Amino acid sequence: MTGSITVSADLSSLPGALASVTDALRALGLSPKAVQEMELAVDEAVTNIVLHGYAGTEGWIRLSCERAGEGAAVVVIEDAAPPFDPTVAPSPDLEGDADERPIGGLGVHFIRTMTDEMTYEYRDGINVLKLRKNV
């Protein structure tokens, strides 16, 4: 991925967008395991944006990958859905049986687990989520 890719906020756009991110992360030299973890985190983040951020309304999602110094890669995910800061979302209650826990709330936890750092800012009407993976 040179520069960025912008796709419609539709789940049918996800496979092509993820393929572009995967190719870019490989080109940046991430290990196969790191690429897979980032792909899973990006998949979860973009799915959440489509389903919960835009919630069925039309919109766009822009993805870009960049090197962060010598030791990391960052995927930047931008959208114009209502503001949502996943970095302050509460951690889910993982105690007890899975069938007894409330549905939902695991996506952000999953992203935190698969990445080394997650940052968020809302600027000029745009959500900017950065997912960092150390090489």
Over the stretch 104-135, which tens digit does the pLDDT of each residue have?
Answer: 556 788 899 999 999 999 999 999 999 999 98
pLDDT of residue 94: 56
State pLDDT tens for residues 12-55. 999 999 999 999 999 998 999 999 999 999 999 999 999 999 99
Q: Greater confidence, 90 or 81?
A: 81
Task: Kindly report the CATH class assigned to 4-134.
Answer: alpha beta
- Band (pLDDT 50/70/90 cuts) for residue 101 is very low
| DSSP calls for the chain | --SEEEEESSGGGHHHHHHHHHHHHHHTT--HHHHHHHHHHHHHHHHHIIIIIITTS--EEEEEEEE-SSSEEEEEEEE-SSP--GGGSPPP---S-GGGSPS--HHHHHHHHH-SEEEEEEETTEEEEEEEEE-
pLDDT of 135: 80
